[in-house]
Amino acid sequence: MKVSRVAAAGLLAAASLYSMLPAAGSPAPAAGSSSPDRPLRELAGRQLMIGTAVDHAAYTADATYRDRIRTEFNSITAENVMKWEVVEPERGKLDFSAADELMAAAKRNGQQVRGHTLVWHNQLPAWLTQGVESGEIDATELRSILRGHIIDEVSHFRGRIYQWDVANEVVDDNGQLRDSIWLRELGPGYIADAFRWAHQADPRAKLFLNDYNVEGISAKSDAYHALAKDLLRQRVPVHGFGAQGHYGVQYGFHSASEVAANLGRFEQLGLETAITEVDVRMIMPTDNVKLQAQAQGYSVLLQGCLLARRCNSFTVWGFTDKYSWVPGWFEGEGAANLLDENFAPKPAYRELQAVLTLSH
Ligand code: XIL
């Protein structure tokens, strides 16, 4: 493992050279002696968990989608079905059925599972947000509801989740704690509480802070560094820092070495790191230049992870443009994934193969 991390330093130049070679749409040459169609999980070997978010509805309906998840990835994240609005749509009625189906599939496929997510400002059940808004749920009750939610959910999956995104997107882009019902009602201590409750329910799971716009060094990632340091000083069981990796080709990317340096400073605090939700969107329609830029976006994140010493999982937020959250959330944008709508590899997929091959 250490050896391959060191070898990874040498791949930076090679991989960026490689990325200049194939024009999008043309068959990419295999890197080294690898076949161009060796699946990512095979190329990743034992050095890295390589994951995807899974859309439960697509998983149920589409055999090609199911197959590809099985062959390409050794880790999965539920894209939505572990979120609070799905697991407790009515107060007190827990429903883990969809999540359990994905857990069972992961077991059959020899895949590990990242848990996503326990405390977040989005995708909360209406009974909760409306109850707080109307004043029916006061701060004391809200705290006990959050505690119950975390303990119930983490206990349900105890021993079967290797990394939990405990606190998701709790810092805003200016580096302040995000204004949310949690911060407003409970104060900043809710973050430490969430980690403590999760740890109590599953002492073996690695517990993560997770956010977007924290891949490089910025006011936001600085704020996370300070937050992580503060939590660790209070002996809060936080074990990892996850950078989501939602990029857009029109904004440019960090360099791999900046990503590695940023992850490295969290590792110096004693944390593991992960890249948790990679997609690289573009303004539609696609063209070869954008697709090539997209490959570079995926590449710097994977290389950054490989160059860091304790970045142990790299997860894409969906792998085919057939099922992607991007067009529904970013008007006029799309094509953010590794495979196109017909599951054909895009340059980004070839790039990840090449980087993984070179990293051995
Ligand atoms: C997104 C899902 O992909 C969508 O299907 C859903 O409608 C909204 O949430 N950051 C996160 C993820 O942590 O949970 C989000 O997932 C994408 C942004």
pTM, 2 dp: 0.92
Q: 336 CA to middle of ligand 1, Å?
A: 14
pLDDT value at position 35? 52
Q: 30 CA to middle of ligand 1, Å?
A: 33
169 part of the active site: yes
Give the 3-state secondary structure of residue 66.
Answer: helix
Atom of ligand 1 nearest to the CA of 116: 14
Q: How many CA atoms lie within 13 A of 217 on its CB side?
A: 10
- The number of helix segments (H) and strand segments (E) in the chain equals 15, 10
pLDDT-based confidence at 18, cuts 50/70/90? very low
Residues 6+ apart with CB under 8 A from 127: 90, 91
Q: How far is CA 203 from CA 160, 197, 208, in A?
A: 12, 10, 13
Atom of ligand 1 nearest to the CA of 328: 7
Atom of ligand 1 nearest to the CA of 55: 5
pLDDT in tens, 129-154: 999 999 999 999 999 999 999 999 99
pLDDT in tens, 299-339: 999 999 999 999 999 999 999 999 999 999 999 999 999 99
Give the 3-state secondary structure of residue 224.
Answer: helix
pLDDT in tens, 25-57: 444 444 444 456 899 999 999 889 999 999 999
Rg (CA), the chain: 20
For ligand 1, atom 16, the nearest C-alpha belongs to: 79
42 part of the active site: no
The number of beta carbons lying within 10 Å of the beta carbon of residue 336 is 26
Q: Which residues pair with 113 in a beta bridge?
A: 76
Given a cut of 50, whether residue 24 has pLDDT beyond it is no
Q: Return the best residue to mutate from 118, 172, 329 for the ligand 1 pocket (most ligand atoms within 8 A of CB).
A: 329
